[in-house]
Amino acid sequence: MRPGSDVEVRSRFDGDWVGGFQVAQVSGSGSDEAYHLRRVSDGTVLPVPFVRTDLRERATGLPAAEPGLARSG
């Protein structure tokens, strides 16, 4: 995943996937890689980085999950 990639994030609350985010920056490398995300709705960069296993790229051609709503899969 690279900066600008549209992603969904695994919710730390219930494990569902939540859309409406983009990769803002990637720091570190290998197992220390951290993804800093931007919320698309207002452009805010989230204060806590995410690990790769908590992210998935949004499939091309599929509608984005509504921010705050989960989409199974």
Element (H, E) at 6: strand 6-10
| pLDDT of 65 | 52
Residue 72 reports pLDDT greater than 50:
no
Region 6-57: CATH code = 2.30.30
Write the CA distances from 24 to 8, 37, 52, integer angstroms.
13, 5, 14
Q: And the tokens for 59?
A: 């499939």
Write the CA distances from 26 to 29, 46, 70, integer angstroms.
8, 13, 24
Q: What are phi and psi of 56, to 5 degrees?
A: -145, 145
| pLDDT of 9 | 95
Per-residue pLDDT tens over the stretch 4-55: 999 999 988 898 999 999 999 999 988 889 999 999 999 999 999 999 999 9
| pLDDT of 64 | 54
